Amino acid sequence: MDTIDIERLIHKYNTPVPRYTSYPTAVEFSADFNPQDYFTALTEMTSEKPVSLYLHIPFCEHRCFYCGCNVIVSKRKEMNDDFLKDIMNEIIYKTSFIKFKPVVSQLHFGGGTPNFLRISDWQKLMDFLHNYFIFSSDIELSIELDPMVMDVTYLENLRSFGFNRVSFGIQDVNEQTQRAIGRIQNMTHIDELFQKARELGFTSVNVDFIYGLPFQNLETYQANINWILKFKPDRMAMFSYAHIPWIKKHQAQMPVEAMPNASEKLRIYLSVESQLNMNGYVSIGMDHFAKVEDPMSQALKNKSLHRNFMGYTTQANLDQLAFGPSAISHVQGVFVQNHVKLRAYEKSVRDKVELFEKGIKQNNEDKLRSYIIQSIMNNLYLDINECNTLWGIDFNKKFSTEIENLREFEKNELVKIYPDKIEVKPYGRYIVRHLGKIFDAYRKPSEEFTKRFSRGI
């Protein structure tokens, strides 16, 4: 399939569709769910299986115009004082339903800007977490960082607290794009931080970039690729910018006319993918790359890659305990989301009422379809025989309508359907969210997604 054919593909499928970081997707979560389902799930957890922790730090010192995250913009570091009390009290209350001290194999801090916290805040928070959880000897302790609001000493302190994975949000190295998105960066400073992270022995030093921003085109984006090939991060997120100014009003501050169209975005991505693949990186799922020797690349090769609200992971089916405003937990088939607004979150924690904004309990059909969607989207493969064995079904009979709907994609060489397996072909990766949608029982073929989801490519 040549570039022209791929462009036709893009234009056909570049329509809004869920990202499927969960199934059912977050739009199906309801304020009418029963919160007791979650607390019952906590009591039913078993000590044999470790857990994954996520803490959401909502504060940022400035707002980036492209941002789609739940953030609070402030330079008042004293806001951390009340926030830490609240998140600690949330942890104390919710973990009181667990009958043992959980072993943690993954701990991730996202935001917002987690490095909004002061060093003294980190000391207090990490000491607290060690009191309520057991950190496994091989824990993945990771954090998202804004490199422009930290220095080398801050990085050294994070390492001393046990962090072994860092991800720097860079987004674009070109000054014109940086100005358009309200994120001016000193690349010399970022280079120094990246090199220092290597020296300090972080086991994984990663970066985030975005394509689809103002003034990006095939020519200008080469500077980003050159930076990557020079510094060789272990993993990269290469996110497609989602323009949703009707939800995130600050995005309207960027010049839409300067944003690359779908065809140019495709050329940018294909250029990134080609050059990285030639330089020792493997394409992971929709928007990530990892070195060939990275555990994530090996998991893809072994068809054991997973994805949750924290991103791709090599650790399978862990219960996820999430704390902080907007954080989403998933325990024993129950999803709950904390209140998004800080004031509502504070009230819920302090008063111990209406502890969640919304949630949903998966039924068996949800769990089955989640398994199928995640297999296709993460590992680009579904073992039908294994699915039949695990779920006690006749896949080809139960999903005969879905299989027929996949035939259109098979005609375009995007997927191959066998009696015992489904394989996503190389170019099918670009529209894999649409493949997942076929098995989404909540999505109607004629449904209008425009104001609910970002575009599929």
Cis peptide before 324 (omega within 30 of 0): no
Tell me the CATH number at 269. 3.20.20.70
Question: Mean of the pLDDT values across residues 179-192?
Answer: 96
pLDDT at residue 436, rounded to an integer: 94
The answer as to whether 76 is a domain residue is yes
d(CA 241, CA 212): 5
Mark whether 230 and 247 lie in a shared domain. Answer: yes
Helix (H) or strand (E) holding 303: none
Q: Which of 190-204, 246-260, 312-326, 367-381 has the lowest mean pLDDT?
A: 312-326
Domain total in the chain:
2
Type of residue at 374: Q
The answer as to whether 332 is a domain residue is no
pLDDT at residue 457, rounded to an integer: 52
Mark whether 133 and 6 lie in a shared domain. Answer: no
Mark whether 385 and 255 lie in a shared domain. Answer: no
Q: Reply yes or no on whether the pLDDT at 187 is more than 80.
A: yes
Rounded to the nearest integer, the mean pLDDT of the chain is 92
Mark whether 82 and 96 lie in a shared domain. Answer: yes
Question: Mean of the pLDDT values across residues 132-148?
Answer: 97
List Cα–Cα distances, 235 to 67, 203, 245, in angstroms: 21, 11, 29
Question: Mean of the pLDDT values across residues 435-449?
Answer: 78
Mark whether 14 and 117 lie in a shared domain. Answer: no
Rounded to the nearest 5°, which phi and psi values hold at 169? -85, 105
Terminal alpha carbon distance of the chain: 17
pLDDT at residue 99, rounded to an integer: 97
For 371-426, how does the pLDDT look when each residue is reduced to its tens digit (9 = 90+)? 999 999 999 999 999 999 999 999 999 999 999 999 999 998 999 999 999 999 98
For 326-358, how does the pLDDT look when each residue is reduced to its tens digit (9 = 90+)? 999 999 999 999 999 999 999 999 999 999 999
**Residue found under tokens 């989207």:** 377
d(CA 395, CA 389): 10
DSSP assignment string, 9-21: HHHHH-SB----S
For 220-264, how does the pLDDT look when each residue is reduced to its tens digit (9 = 90+)? 999 999 999 999 999 999 999 989 899 899 999 999 999 998 889
Type of residue at 158: L
Q: Reply yes or no on whether the pLDDT at 204 is more than 80.
A: yes
CA 132 to chain centre: 26
Which range of residues forms the domain containing residue 368?
A: 1-24+363-442
CA triple 137-139-141, angle to 5 deg:
140
Q: In what order do the strands lie in the sheet with 415-417?
A: 381-383, 421-424, 415-417
Nearest of 211, 207, 188, 191 to residue 199 by alpha carbon:
191
